[in-house]
Amino acid sequence: MTASAHDFAFQTIDGEALPLTSFRDKVVLVVNTASKCGLTPQYDGLEKLYSEYKDRGLVVLGVPCNQFAGQEPGTEAEIKDFCETRFSVDFPLTSKVDVKGDAAHPFYKWAKDQLGEPAEPVWNFHKILVGKDGAAIRAFGPRTDPMDDEVTGAIETSL
């Protein structure tokens, strides 16, 4: 049984290795994202959250996913360009992965094991908060705004 999010790795949107150990001693908000979703404007809130808290140890990690109504059809290069030009995204993005089902990225399977059903994404912009020690802390549904007091409060407590 995997004990920590730090046991997993993604690839960056540029294809480089992205071990979650690189975020040891940081709080990480992992968010599955999509460019063509009604919730896509949450990129603004995620970027604001990252700007406000990154110096205190928060990382927002965007995880593009095309599992919900095909709302992330682009290539990694197109996704990166969209995020940077439309929303000035400065936080790290991973390559596109599945976040639920049999082909889900291992991090998402682990998070569901840790937090139960609330950790399984039901739509784009689902959020999973991971503590400095790599423990899964809490999941937030897609409609929970990144700047909602519930999210910022959980981040404040974790920092």
Query: In the annotation, is 65 catalytic?
Result: no
Sort 105 into a burial class: Cβ within 10 Å, 0-12 / 13-18 / 19+: buried
Q: Kindly report the number of other CB atoms within 10 A of residue 96's CB atom.
A: 21
With residues binned 3-state (H G I as helix, E B as strand, rest as coil), the percentages for the chain, rounded to 5, are: 35, 20, 45
Catalytic residue among 9, 37, 135, 147: 37
8 A C-beta contact, residue 35 and residue 82: yes
Which residues are annotated as catalytic?
A: 37
